[in-house]
């Protein structure tokens, strides 16, 4: 087995036993990235020198007896989180030359834990999209089939993990951006409870929805990474002081007596039959291990897309107002006055989808329409939250398809935004309700594309997701790296 194929858990054991060095591990990932990333295009920046230098430091620290949970572990970071002194582009022309003046809290925590930053991964511009085709730079490809999208917006992070360029990565999830690409790329992806992880240093999109989370090829590594990034941060007032447990303790707890809620609204017409059958199979296998399935209802699901695309565009229009050419990023040269500066800067440097969202968001917040759209959406958002509260009176974990279809072909939906938005139907309610959810690989369809199952738990119950996924994982070990088409 090559070092780049190791899980974090396996590699850390080898480091401990002296069978592997941090430098060898990082070098193996960098070599792998150099070999495959020309086709996958997951990274917008690969920091080879910086990564090797940190790996060597980690080796020295290990020799000196230092202990840190991820000492020497290579990781990729979505390019909407700050690493001090490196560019944060958000895959936008607006921030193409913006250098981060500070570390995001998650990055600072990873640094303290000894992680090695391999580089920054591609995304849909400002995290708006579901295919990574909205990147201003290039489209990332799905490592299982390069004609297909890896999902989005954390498509670069998901593809880099799936292609074995890194053992794990960080993504952000406003409406599914960790879970949907994890599903399309056949890996694990967890969106924590809103408030579990600090958003300080994450470029804001929809601040009441955004959450940072881990992507990895197995659930142990998800738990390890979640341990490091969770917790209260005085720099983010929306981070919660509810203590974060050691999530690895939930591994191997079993599912005996666990009630799995199956929401009927998620198994409707239009959901791909292979997607449905993978989820049913996952449920059956968990039930064979002692879980029990109960039907539940999330009756307001049909309103989720409308509510999400009102709330997130409203918040985006406000958050993105700061990119005016005067403070950050791109600034249109030769403008005669301030209005011209704002107009030209924003016209030149924002892509089509970002402009669409700013316009939609400005419209739903405008006097006269605020009550009819934004306020109404907030009310329905509360109903969606209550749907989950009621459902969790009858079950412990909700099990659903994460996306109605497997990955789609590059180019297939990019000119039809509504079609693109509709694909988010099963991930966005989770953000609107603030609950945590984990997508787990569940085999492949006839065309060889990954299938996935989404587990959803009540707020601050990520342990239940990890507990359930660790049983699930044992039952689905059916394909490996040799099947990758890169």
Q: Which chain residues interact with ligand GLN by CB under 6 A? A: 127-130, 153, 173-177, 205, 312, 424
Cβ closer to ligand GLN: 71 or 316?
316
Number of Cβ within a 10 Å radius of residue 482: 5
Taking the complex as a whole, the smallest distance from the CB of residue 68 to ligand GLN amounts, in Å, to: 30
Q: Tell me the angle at which helices 8-17 and 22-40 cross, rounded to the nearest 10 degrees.
A: 150
Could you give the count of Cα atoms lying within 13 Å of 477 in the half-sphere of its Cβ? Answer: 6
Cβ closer to ligand GLN: 141 or 344?
141
135, 153, 160, 239: the catalytic one is 153
Residue that is written with structure tokens 């109960």 in the block: 294
Give the ranges where 260-351 is alpha helix by DSSP (H): 273-288, 304-319, 338-349
Taking the complex as a whole, the smallest distance from the CB of residue 190 to ligand GLN amounts, in Å, to: 13
Number of Cβ within a 10 Å radius of residue 390: 13
Exposure string over 299-310, b if 16+ CB within 10 A, otherwise e? ebbebbbebbbb
Cβ closer to ligand GLN: 62 or 199?
199
Task: Say if residues 24 and 3 touch (Cβ distance below 8 Å).
Answer: yes
Q: Tell me the angle at which helices 155-162 and 22-40 cross, rounded to the nearest 10 degrees.
A: 120
Cβ closer to ligand GLN: 6 or 304?
304
Residues 376, 468: Cα–Cα separation, whole Å? 36
Tell me how far the alpha carbon of residue 202 is from its chain's centroid. Answer: 13
Active site residue 78: yes
78, 109, 120, 191: the catalytic one is 78
Taking the complex as a whole, the smallest distance from the CB of residue 409 to ligand GLN amounts, in Å, to: 17
Tell me how far the alpha carbon of residue 171 is from its chain's centroid. Answer: 4
DSSP 202: B
Taking the complex as a whole, the smallest distance from the CB of residue 130 to ligand GLN amounts, in Å, to: 4
Q: Tell me which residue has its CB nearest to ligand GLN.
A: 177
Active site residue 153: yes
Taking the complex as a whole, the smallest distance from the CB of residue 191 to ligand GLN amounts, in Å, to: 8
Active site residue 335: no
Closest among 36, 45, 244 to 143, alpha carbons compared? 36
Sheet holding 74-78, edge to edge: 43-46, 116-121, 74-78, 168-172, 212-216, 188-191, 437-444, 450-456, 397-400, 259-263, 292-296
Taking the complex as a whole, the smallest distance from the CB of residue 209 to ligand GLN amounts, in Å, to: 7
Closest among 185, 29, 186 to 119, alpha carbons compared? 29
135, 177, 452, 470: the catalytic one is 177
Closest among 435, 448, 459 to 484, alpha carbons compared? 448
Taking the complex as a whole, the smallest distance from the CB of residue 252 to ligand GLN amounts, in Å, to: 31
Closest among 210, 199, 183, 239 to 455, alpha carbons compared? 183
3-state secondary structure 431-481: HHHCCCEEEEEEEECCCCCEEEEEEECCCCCHHHHHHHHHHHHHCCCCCCH
Cβ closer to ligand GLN: 6 or 127?
127
DSSP 359-389: HHHHHHHSTTTIIIIIIHHHHHHHHHHHHHH
Taking the complex as a whole, the smallest distance from the CB of residue 441 to ligand GLN amounts, in Å, to: 20
Cβ closer to ligand GLN: 157 or 470?
157
Taking the complex as a whole, the smallest distance from the CB of residue 78 to ligand GLN amounts, in Å, to: 10
User: How does strand 116-121 pair with strand 450-456?
Assistant: unpaired
By annotation, the residues acting in catalysis are 78, 153, 177
């Amino acid at each position: 087995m090559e070092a780049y194929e190791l899980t974090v858990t396996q590699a850390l054991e080898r480091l401990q036993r002296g069978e592997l060095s941090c430098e060898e591990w990082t070098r193996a990932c960098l070599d792998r990235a150099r070999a495959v990333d020309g086709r996958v295009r997951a990274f917008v920046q690969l920091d080879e020198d910086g990564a090797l230098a940190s790996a060597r430091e980690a080796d020295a620290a290990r020799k000196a007896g230092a202990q840190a949970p991820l000492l020497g572990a290579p990781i990729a970071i979505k390019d909407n989180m700050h690493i001090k002194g490196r560019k944060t582009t958000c895959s936008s022309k607006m921030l193409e030359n913006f250098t981060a003046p500070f570390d995001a809290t998650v990055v600072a925590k990873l640094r303290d834990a000894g992680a090695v930053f391999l580089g920054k991964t591609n995304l849909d511009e400002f995290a708006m999209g579901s295919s990574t085709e909205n990147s201003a730079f290039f489209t990332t490809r799905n490592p299982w089939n390069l004609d297909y999208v890896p999902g989005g917006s954390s498509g670069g992070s998901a593809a880099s993990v799936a292609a074995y360029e890194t053992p794990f990565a960080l993504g952000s999830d406003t409406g599914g951006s960790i879970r949907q690409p994890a599903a399309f790329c056949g890996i694990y992806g967890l969106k924590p409870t809103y408030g579990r992880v600090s958003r300080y240093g994450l470029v804001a999109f929809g601040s009441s929805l955004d959450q940072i989370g881990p992507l990895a090829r197995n659930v142990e590594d998800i738990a390890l990474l979640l341990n490091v990034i969770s917790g209260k941060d005085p720099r983010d007032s929306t981070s919660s002081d509810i203590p974060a447990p050691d999530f690895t303790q939930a591994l191997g707890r079993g599912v005996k007596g666990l009630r799995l809620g199956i929401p009927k609204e998620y198994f409707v017409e239009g959901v791909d039959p292979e997607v449905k059958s993978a989820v049913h199979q996952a449920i059956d296998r968990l039930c064979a291990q002692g879980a029990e399935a109960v039907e539940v209802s999330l009756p307001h699901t049909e309103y989720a897309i409308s509510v999400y695309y009102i709330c997130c565009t409203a918040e985006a229009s406000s958050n993105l107002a700061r990119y005016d050419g005067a403070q950050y990023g791109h600034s249109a040269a030769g403008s005669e006055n301030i209005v011209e500066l704002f107009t030209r800067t924003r016209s030149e440097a924002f892509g089509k989808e970002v402009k669409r969202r700013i316009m939609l968001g400005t419209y739903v917040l405008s006097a006269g329409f605020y009550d009819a759209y934004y306020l109404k959406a907030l009310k329905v958002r509360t109903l969606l939250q209550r749907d989950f509260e009621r459902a969790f009176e009858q079950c412990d974990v909700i099990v659903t398809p994460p996306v109605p279809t497997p990955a789609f072909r590059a180019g297939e939906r990019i000119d039809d935004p509504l079609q693109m938005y509709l694909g988010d139907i099963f991930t966005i309610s989770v953000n609107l309700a603030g609950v945590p959810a984990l997508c787990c690989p569940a085999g492949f369809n006839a065309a060889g594309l990954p299938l996935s199952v989404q587990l959803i738990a009540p707020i601050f119950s990520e342990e239940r997701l990890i507990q359930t996924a660790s049983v699930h994982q044992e039952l689905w070990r059916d394909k490996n790296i040799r099947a990758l088409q890169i």
